[in-house]
Amino acid sequence: MGQILLNGIVKSYGKEVVVKNLDLTVETGEFLTILGPSGCGKTTTLRMIAGLEEPDQGMIKLDDKVVFSRNDGVVVPPEARHLGLIFQSYALWPHMTVAKNITLALKEQKISKSEIAQRLENALDMVQLTGYAERYPSELSGGQQQRVAVARLIALRPSILLMDEPLSNLDAKLRTEMRASLKRLHRDLGATTVYVTHDQIEALTLSDRIIIMNEGQIMQEGSPYDIYHHPANIFVAEFIGDPGINLFKGTISNGMLDCGAISISLPTTIANRGGNLIAGIRPEKIKVSETAKNGWQEVTTGILQPTGANTILEVKAEDIPITLLQTGFITLSEDTPLWIDFETDALSFFDTETQENLRNEVS
C-alpha cells in the first residue's frame, strides 16, 4: 500500500510550462523529498498527486489504481484519493477547536464515536498536544499549529503523506525539533511520504531518496549520499552543499587540468578526452596545512567565518577564490599563507557544454 507513480506529467499555466514531462516512482514506505529552488514546480507536482491540480498530460497511479489519465479520461477527485496533505500554511480551520479540526473528516467517514475519541487521543498524544483539544488555532503558537496539522493527518491514517514545506514558517530551533519528530512520525506510521522543500538540510536529513528539480524537470534522483557526493550536473553540485562546492574551469594538458594558478591531476579516462572541462570539489574535501608541503598548492587567507564547530575559510590561489571548510574554531589573520591539497577521489568533473557529470558518461 502506498505506491505512487507519475508518468509523463506535463503541466502548464497559460503559456508557461511549469512541469515538463515528469516521471516519478515512490515506493511503499519510502520517504522521498522533492528539493529545488523557488518556483521550480515542487508544489505543483505535489498538488497534482493530491488531485488539487490537473495535469495537462500524463498518468498518475496511487496503489496501482489510476487516479488520473488524460488519455483514458480518468480523473479521481482529491476527496476520493485518500491521502494526507500538510500545507505550508497548515490550513487549520480557524472556527473549530483543535479537537474538531482533527475529527471532522473522521465523522464524515462514519467511524464510531469511541473510535474517533480513541484516535483523537492517540493523535494528540503523538504530537504531544494532549490537553489542547479545546483550544482554537488562533490560541496556539506556530509550532503547535503545525503539530495540530500533523495530528489531523495522523488521525486519518492515510497510507500516503504529502507535505509541502511544513517547517518553513517555524524559527530555526523549532525547525530542528520538528524535523526530528517528523522523521519519528514517518518511522512510526510507515506511510509513503513525499516531502517538498527548498531547504537542503531538511532534504538530506530526512530522506531515503531525494529528487532535485529545476524549471519543472528532474535534475537528479538518488540517495542523499549520492546526491551530495556524485552530483549529476553542475546545477545539482552548486545547489547542494553549504558552503557551496568549488568549481574550477580549465584545459586538459599532460594528464592535468590547467586552471591557471592551480592545476589538478586527472584520472586517465578523463585526461584522454582532451579539451576543456570543469572540476568540482566540496570545501571539506580539501586538506589544509599551515606549513609548506611538497606538491601542495600555496594560498593566502581572506575572510574567515567560524560557525562554532566548523570554520569556513575564503582563500585565494593568486586570483582564483577557493572555499575551505575545516573543523574547529579557527582564527587566523588575513593574508596568512596556507597550503592545500585536493582529495583526488572526491573530485567531480563536468562537461563545459552539457554541464553533465563525466562520471556518468564514463561508467
Please identify which residue in 8, 39, 255, 328 interacts with ligand ATP, judged by CB under 6 A: 39
Task: Give residue number: closest CB to ligand ATP.
Answer: 43
Which of positions 82-101 make contact with ligand ATP (CB under 6 A)? none
| 136 vs 149: CA distance, rounded Å | 13
Q: How far is the CB of 154 from other proteins (least distance, A)?
A: 12
Supply the minimum distance, in Å, between the C-beta of residue 60 and ligand ATP: 16
Nearest residue (CB) to Mg ion, 43 versus 220 = 43
Among Mg ion, ligand ATP, other proteins, none, what does residue 2 contact (CB within 5–8 Å per kind)? none
- List the beta bridge partners of residue 35: 197, 212
The answer to whether 354 touches 290, Cβ cutoff 8 Å, is: no
Rounded to whole angstroms, the Cα distance separating 106 from 112 reads 9
Q: Is 13 a binder of ligand ATP (CB under 6 A)?
A: yes
The distance in angstroms from the start CA to the end CA of the chain is 35
Structural contact between residues 288 and 338, judged by C-beta atoms closer than 8 angstroms: yes
Q: How far apart are CA 233 and CA 215, in angstroms?
A: 15
Q: Which residues bind other proteins (CB under 8 A)?
A: 8, 10, 12, 17, 20-21, 50-52, 54, 56-57, 70-85, 87, 89, 91-95, 104-105, 108-109, 136-138, 152, 156, 217
DSSP code for 73 = T
Cβ contacts of 326 within 8 Å, gap of 6 or more = 284, 288, 310, 311, 313
79 contact choice in ligand ATP, Mg ion, other proteins, none (CB below 5 to 8 Å, kind-dependent):
other proteins
Please list every residue from 179 through 208 that binds ligand ATP, using CB under 6 A.
Answer: 198
Given the C-alpha cell 523529498, which residue does it identify? 33
Shortest distance (Å) from residue 88 CB to Mg ion:
7
Peptide bond into 321 cis (omega under 30): no
Assess contact for 196 and 43: CB atoms under 8 A: yes
The residue from 2, 22, 32, 41 that contacts ligand ATP (CB under 6 A) is 41
* Among 3, 43, 101, 207, interactor with Mg ion by CB under 5 A: 43
Rule CB under 6 A: choose which of 44, 220, 297, 311 binds ligand ATP: 44
Please tell me whether residue 217 adopts helix, strand or coil conformation.
Answer: strand
Q: Which is nearer to Mg ion, 43 or 192 (CB)?
A: 43
**Does 214 contact Mg ion by CB under 5 A?**
no
**C-alpha 323 chain-centroid distance:** 23
Q: Which is nearer to Mg ion, 9 or 155 (CB)?
A: 9
CB of 345 to ligand ATP, least distance (A): 34
Selection from other proteins, Mg ion, ligand ATP, none that 41 binds (CB < 5 to 8 A by kind) is: ligand ATP
Residue 148 vs 313, nearer CB to other proteins? 148
Measured CA to CA in angstroms, residue 61 lies from 4, 7, 26, 114 at distances of 6, 8, 10, 34
Whole-angstrom distance, CA of residue 342 vs CA of residue 340:
7
Q: Segment near ligand ATP (CB under 6 A), from 42-50, 62-70, 274-282, 300-308? A: 42-50
Query: From ligand ATP, other proteins, Mg ion, none, which one binds at residue 18 (CB under 5 to 8 Å depending on kind)?
Result: ligand ATP
Q: 40 touches which of ligand ATP, other proteins, Mg ion, none (CB within 5 to 8 A by kind)?
A: ligand ATP
Q: Cβ atoms within 10 A of the Cβ of 268, count?
A: 7
Residue 196: left (phi > 0), alpha (psi -120 to 50), or beta?
A: beta
* Distance in Å, CB of 186 to other proteins, minimum: 18
CA dist list (Å): 75 to 4, 23, 128, 161: 16, 18, 38, 20
Q: Which residues bind Mg ion (CB under 5 A)?
A: 43
- Kindly list the residues in this chain that would bind ligand ATP in the complex (CB under 6 A): 13, 18, 36, 38-44, 198
